[in-house]
Amino acid sequence: MFRRISPYPLLLIFMLVILPLPAFAISTLSISSPAADGVFVLRGVGLEAVSGLQISVSYDSATLSNPRIALGSLVSGMYNATNPGNPIQVAIVSTTKAISDTGTIATITFERTGASPGRITALTGTLIDLQGAKVAMAQPIVIDPPGPSTPAPGQQPGNPTGTGNPTGNTGNAGTDTNISATGRTATATTPSRTVAGTVTFPSNETPANETNEPAAIEPEPQIETAPQETPEPQGVEGEVPAEESAAPVPEADETKAPEPEATAQPAAAPPAAAPPAAAPPAAAPQPVQTVLERFRVFEGERTVQNQVALFHSRAVQAFSQSPAIAIADGEATVRLTISRLAGDKAPNFTFNSARFVSLARSDNGEWEVEVRPEKDAIKASVGMLYNGMVQELPLTVAPEANVAPNKSGDITEADFQLFLKERGTASAPKFDLNGDGRRDYIDDYIFTASYLVKMEEKATRKQGAQSQAPSPLMGEGWGEGEKLAQASPSPPPPPIKGGGASSRWELNLT
């Protein structure tokens, strides 16, 4: 007797073979406008261990304009930077959080032109994990809203497939192009609004494998075989060919004379050229203790001298801030100078509680990043992505606070001592400068920062702009570059073209 074989296992195997790769759980991005009202939802689909996203969204400027970006719950609490240009740039990164979920990354609201619901022309992105390595990503999905009900003369409207496949739009989608950060243009070959691509993170990262790679890049292996033709010459600088030089070898063995043997060695030298030694791995980023953190962990006596000393640098860092203390009034800017970076390519930056203003490189090779801290910020930082690692560069900022006891705006050491002495009670705290209902180390930090800035302003008024006498902020222990400029400050670095006042994810001068 023959046992009847169930067809279901065979059917399952058949379905697994013919299913497209995106049907499996691979991280990807999607964008759509469910209501066709100019509001597009950018989503992460099946993200796995993703801690950084760099996304570029291009749109039809004839039908859409003035994009406004609101980040979604999926990336809540992560560093972010957005640039509402065309293409729209969205950069999100975290040094501690990894996303393994599906949800809304951002909602982009456009102003529509005419009756058209608008269309997205390209969606590209790159995902990284906590170690800075790229995460494999399936082809991003673009679902354009349905167009006007009246088709154009001589054309038929695209018919959805009815199966939920986002590639149902036809038309002229096959002519779209996608430009990656390497400058190579790949022409889409499928009649779909789905576009794939990458934007470079740190330069030494290996790109993640992508699905549906265009066949146009297949000739690349030919480049690898070309250098193999160079060691073909039979002789080197007129020496005897290898076939003739092989004959005297037995004689060299009989006479045991090493000198003739040494003269024949150079013939084999050219192919023995060793590849250049790999560069030593970059040092892992080191956490930098902020001034606010020093106030939090301080356990000594709270005196004027001790409070001021907490603002002094413990060691010279590879970056410096000017001015050393920034009052976050929403207008003032801070210049961060970064040194000890090899190469000419700018690193990638993200901004937390600060807005990008400009980026330049000085004559001695230092990178100068100018940012504007958000109003009333207590914590602000610049994240630098370099060699596949993230280094957080904290800024010393404090909210604007009226700490002067009189209308003149001047403050004295006696006023500082009174502040330290009068703390109030738990139910009625005195000098609650940040308005959180408590008198704690944060209030001490804000008062000390304001005191030092006021003393600097007072010294400047008395001494004049050309004075070279040390200021209160230049006490013993300040690190190089953290001192405030005494003379007239150098002009700010020229802003990058197109930078404006918006934050940028990748700021490359090349």
Residue 13, pLDDT score: 53
Residue 11 lies in a domain: no
Residue 153, pLDDT score = 54
pLDDT at 76: 86
Q: Which pLDDT belongs to residue 188?
A: 37
Whether residue 50 is found in the same domain as residue 179: yes
Domain assignment present for residue 418? The answer is yes
Rg (alpha carbons) of the chain, rounded to whole number = 32
The residue among 271, 201, 167, 188 whose CA lies nearest residue 55 is: 201
- Asked if residue 153 belongs to a domain, the reply is no
Nearest to 200 by CA among 438, 343, 386, 7: 386
Kindly report the CATH number assigned to the domain that includes residue 433: 2.60.40.10
| pLDDT tens over the chain, length 510 residues | 555 555 555 555 555 545 544 445 689 999 999 999 999 999 999 999 998 999 999 999 999 999 999 999 999 888 888 888 899 989 888 878 899 999 999 999 999 988 889 999 999 999 999 888 899 999 999 998 886 655 555 555 444 444 444 444 433 333 333 333 333 333 333 333 333 333 334 434 434 444 444 444 444 444 444 444 444 444 444 444 444 444 444 444 444 455 545 454 555 555 555 555 555 555 566 788 899 999 999 999 999 999 999 998 665 567 899 999 999 999 999 999 998 777 777 788 888 899 999 988 888 888 899 999 999 999 999 988 777 677 889 999 999 988 877 766 778 899 999 999 998 998 899 989 988 999 999 999 999 999 999 888 888 887 775 555 555 554 433 333 333 333 334 444 444 333 333 333 333 323
Q: Is 489 a member of any domain?
A: no
- At residue 39, the pLDDT reads 94
Contact indicator for 121, 175 with CB cutoff of 8 Å: no
pLDDT, residue 398, reads: 95
Q: Are residues 199 and 317 in the same domain?
A: no
Residues 316, 191 share a domain? no
Boundary of a domain, candidates 214, 230, 251: 214
Task: Let me know whether 94 and 197 are in one domain.
Answer: yes
Strands (E), 133-212: 141-143, 177-179, 185-187
pLDDT score for 334: 94
Report the pLDDT value the prediction gives residue 474, as an integer from 0 to 100.
42
Same domain, 322 and 177: no
The whole-angstrom separation of Cα 234 and Cα 268 is 11
Residue at 388 is within a domain = yes
Same domain for 196 and 322, yes or no, is no
CA distance 47 to 128: 11
Q: What is the CATH number of the domain that holds 55?
A: 2.60.40.680
- Asked if residue 205 is part of any domain, the answer here is yes
Provide the residue range defining the domain that includes 415: 291-463
Residues 176 and 322 in one domain: no
- Distance (Å, whole) CA 503 – CA 358: 9
How high is the pLDDT of residue 164? 43
End-of-domain residue from the set 186, 214, 242? 214
Indicate whether 333 and 419 sit together in one domain. Answer: yes
Q: Let me know the angle formed at the C-alpha of 211 by 209 and 214, rounded to the nearest 5 degrees.
A: 100
**In which residue are the tokens 């739009």 written?**
169
Q: Which of 444, 366, 439, 454 is nearest to 405 (CA)?
A: 454
57: tokens are 């969204």
Judge whether 251 lies within some domain.
no
Q: Tell me which amino acid residue 17 is.
A: V
Residue 172 lies in a domain: yes
Same domain as 193, residue 73: yes
Calpha distance 201→180 (Å, rounded): 12
Q: Are residues 210 and 296 in the same domain?
A: no
How many Å apart are CA 59 and CA 120, to the nearest integer?
Answer: 4
295, 298, 300, 303: CA torsion to nearest 10:
0
Q: What is the pTM of this model?
A: 0.46
Residue that terminates a domain, selected from 441, 463, 485: 463
Q: What are phi and psi of 146, to 5 degrees?
A: -65, 145
Predicted confidence at residue 206, as pLDDT, reads 39
| Count of domains observed in the chain | 2
Q: Give yes or no: residues 110 and 205 share one domain.
A: yes
pLDDT of residue 148: 63
310 and 442 in a single domain? The answer is yes
The string of DSSP codes covering 192-213 is SS--------STTPPPPPBSS-
